[in-house]
Amino acid sequence: MEKLPLSTAAQMLLEECRMVLPGIQALFGFQLIAVFNQGFSEKLRPLEQHIHLVATGLVAIAVALIMAPAALHRQAGAQHVSAAFIRTSSLLLLCSMLPLALGISLDFYLVARIILESAWSAALAAGLLAVFLGLWFGLPRLYAARAHRER
């Protein structure tokens, strides 16, 4: 497998962050607005309201992590790119995926609980979390292991 020049790797990494960020920011905005809707306190019990708060906090952490590579690049090395920058930024991007998956799954649980009013809500949310973890962490590892075997 051919190694990318650092400048190309940095450009691709920052583009990946830019692609994901608008969706996360939109989700975060909807999470904030939900609290001010009349139905929020009527349809969600206090514990569920706290679950929404945790989900909102997790998505906010994901936003911070996904924006960190751009801040790092701009403030610490806009004129040059190092392998350390690529490693650190890649780690930040990957780390953003876990709180994002958890936050989305928790809020999905709340929506499913309101709509279904059944114990299936938790199972569906757990299934959604498994899909996120499988696609975002499991599949890339399988892909990398297969590429490693082919070399």
The pLDDT tens digits for 13-60 are 888 888 888 889 999 999 999 999 988 999 999 999 999 999 999 999
Taking the mean position of all CA atoms in its chain, how far away is CA 25? 11
Give yes or no for a contact between 49 and 41, defined as CB atoms under 8 angstroms apart.
Answer: yes
- Number of domains making up the chain: 1
Range of the domain at 114: 6-150
pTM for this one?
0.89
- Please check whether residue 1 lies inside any domain of the structure: no
- Please check whether residue 87 lies inside any domain of the structure: yes
| Average per-residue pLDDT for the chain | 91
According to the model, what pLDDT value does residue 78 have? Answer: 64
Q: Which amino acid, one-letter code, is at 130?
A: A
- Angle between helix 6-34 and 83-116 (nearest 10): 30
According to the model, what pLDDT value does residue 109 have? Answer: 97
According to the model, what pLDDT value does residue 8 have? Answer: 87
- Angle between helix 6-34 and 46-76 (nearest 10): 150
* pLDDT higher than threshold 90 for residue 121: yes
